Every structure is written in structure tokens, then in C-alpha cells.
Amino acid sequence: MANEKVIYVAPQVMSKHDGYTHLMTLYESARQEPSDSIVFDFTYTTWFEANLSAVLGAICELLTNQGKHVVVGGCNYAIQDVLQRNRFLCEFGYEPKRDIHQTMVAYTRFNPNEGDRFLEYIKNKLLAKPDFPSHSPNLGKKIRESIFELYENARTHGLCEQIHACGQYFPRKDNIKRLDLSIVDMGQSIKYNVNNYLGSQMTGSEAIEWALKYGNTTKTGDISGGLGLDIMFQFIKLNQGKVQIISSDGYWEYRRGEVRMLDFDLSFPGTIVNIEFNLSDTHDYYLEGEISLDDIF
């Protein structure tokens, strides 16, 4: 196309603060570009973490909604192979490739009312693959529970048009079996919701920290809230996993007992939750003493 604008993706894009900064820069460059035709070009890219396809897919959705035509191109063999196996490139007319190593959780978009389809996705594509690493039934249940708390949170708080999900299994990351999953929505950011609700002026990372605390919620009306993110976070701490939340200009990360809060110069127009589960975990999660449901109210 004559007036198409080529925007180059960085040589390495990983699920780290600088990787997210780069993805925001890609969005801002494309958004501000006068041309209506954008190419995200991977010519110089040698490493792109597959789960970040959810972030790039969400960015493409937003740009498309702004009237831009977006394509992806210039991928070398290795990148193209990964992005065809995880089905991201199918969004741009490429054929899907069979995931022979069974390490991909396919890039998929969901409408907010497609809870049942999301459930099937988690059941069939995440935890039930024939070659998927063995994990205890309790761990599988807790993982699904956490993912649904996140999905419901994105749906009800973000008020988004679509939810983008993509995952990757790493058999030997830090000598532990790990599963990364990214869930992205381009709805209202946590910073907007929290500051709007409290009438405050918190930074993005402060607003995320507020939203993660037990009992804190921006919900009003007759349905209480403030538990979903806390439950996910408490599980990840025990599971020795990792959580990154990026929303507006805020970055919040929990990893190996440490919280990192940073702010970006740019702003992400939605929320990314990147969660890493430790599949080598053998904890038993529900032996917290006998709980009686008689007179529980």
C-alpha cells in the first residue's frame, strides 16, 4: 500500500517493564501516525514472548477501532513459526501450524458474554492437553479459579469490547515447570476506575496496589466485591508464581516475595494481567481446617 507506515518491533520483547514500555510505544506511534495503514514489522526481532501476542492483539483491535488497517509482517522463520503455532498470525491471514511441542495456549479473543467459550478454552487448551505437564487436580482447580476471577474482573470492571488471551508453557524456566498466561482488555483502566470511585489522584501503580487489597472494590450497589484479585494473589504467593499488572501508566509486579511498583511515561489504554503459575507446585491448598457450613451466615 502506497501510504503504509512501517513500525519496527524491537529485537527482543519480553514480559518485563521495558517490554511493556516498547509495546506502548508501538501503540502510540501507530495511533499518532497520519497514515491509516500500519505494518508492525518484525524484521529485526529475534525474540518475542508468545504470551505477549495477547497484548499486541489488543493493540491491533484498538487501532482497528480507530479506523486503521493493521498488519504484521517481516517475521523471520523462528518468530513466524511461534506466532503461527499460537495462532496469532492467523488474525492476519496466515495458516495455522500444528503445535507439535504442545507448549502453546492459542491466542484467542473473547466477547465479554462468552464466559462458556472462555471456560472451554481454559479446560481444553490450557490444562487438558495430552502432553501437558502433570499437575495435581487441586492445583488445576486453583489455577482455573484464579483465571476466572481475573476474567470476571476484566469483564465487569473494564467494560471492554473484547478480552484477549494467550499463553505459553515453559518446561524448564528456572528449572521449574512454568505456565505464563496473559489476559488483556482495552476497557477502563484500574487507575481510572479507582480514582473515579475514590475521588483520588493516585498514580497508576498506587491504584493497582489499592485494587489488590482485600475488601477494596470500586463496585457499588447490592453486590459486594473486593475478593477476586486478593484470592488470585494469595494463591500466587503460595504457588511461588508471578503476577504483573499493567494498567494505564502503572506497573505492579509480584515475584518471589517482592513487590515492584513503577510508573510508565506512556499509558496503556486498558489492563494487562500476566500471570505465571508454578506447575511443579505440590502444595495441598484446601486443608485449612474443617469449615462447617451450618450457621455460616
Partner 1 sequence: MNKAEVQINIAQNIGGDAAVSTEDGNEIFGLIKKDFDAGQVVILDFSGIEILTTAFLNAALGQLYSAYSSEQLNARLKLVNVADQDKILFKKVVARAKEYFANKKQFDQSANQAIHGS
- 286 contributes a contact to partner 1 by CB under 8 A: yes
* Shortest reach from residue 172's CB to partner 1, in Å: 29
The whole-angstrom separation of Cα 45 and Cα 11 is: 4
Amino acid at 40: F
With respect to partner 1, which residue has the nearer C-beta, 86 or 153?
153
Check binding of 80 to partner 1 (CB under 8 A).
Answer: no
91 binds partner 1 (CB under 8 A): no
Q: Does 144 bind partner 1 (CB under 8 A)?
A: yes
Q: Does 2 bind partner 1 (CB under 8 A)?
A: no
93 binds partner 1 (CB under 8 A): no
Determine contact, residues 196/157, Cβ cutoff 8 Å.
no
- In whole angstroms, give the CA distance from residue 293 to residue 98: 47
**Cβ proximity to partner 1, 73 vs 225, nearer residue:** 225
Task: Note whether 224 binds partner 1 by CB under 8 A.
Answer: yes
Q: Least Å distance between CB 141 and partner 1? A: 7
Q: Are 121 and 181 in contact (CB under 8 A)?
A: no
| Contact residue for partner 1 among 28, 145, 161, 263 (CB under 8 A) | 145
Phi, psi of 295 (to 5 degrees): 55, 30
282 touches partner 1 by CB under 8 A: no
Separation CA 236–CA 274 (nearest Å): 12
Count other C-beta atoms under 10 Å from residue 227's C-beta.
14
28 binds partner 1 (CB under 8 A): no
Is there binding between residue 271 and partner 1 (CB under 8 A)?
A: no
> Given candidates 7, 14, 90, 119, which one binds partner 1 under the rule CB under 8 A?
119
SS3 content of the chain, % helix, strand, coil (to 5): 35, 25, 35
Q: Does 199 bind partner 1 (CB under 8 A)?
A: no
DSSP string, 140-168: HHHHHHHHHHHHHHHHHHH--S-EEEEEE
Q: According to the binding rule CB under 8 A, does residue 223 interact with partner 1?
A: yes
- Over the window 148 to 187, marking each residue x when it contacts partner 1 by CB under 8 A and - when it does not, the resulting string is xx-xxx--x-------------------------------
- The residues near 162 (Cβ < 8 Å, ≥ 6 apart) are 58, 61, 109, 110, 111, 112, 185, 186
169: left (phi over 0), alpha (psi -120 to 50) or beta: beta
Identified binder of partner 1 from the candidate list 174, 258, 265, 288, rule CB under 8 A: 288
Which residue number, 103 or 153, has a Cβ lying nearer to partner 1? 153
Q: Which CB atom, from 119 or from 261, has the smaller least distance to partner 1?
A: 119
Residue 59, φ and ψ in degrees, nearest 5: -60, -45
Give dist(CA 19, CA 206) in Å, integer. 21
Q: Examine residue 109 and tell whether it contacts partner 1 (CB under 8 A).
A: no
Question: Which residues in this chain contact partner 1 in the complex, by CB under 8 A?
Answer: 115-116, 119, 138, 141, 144-145, 148-149, 151-153, 156, 215, 222-228, 231, 285-286, 288, 291, 293, 295-297
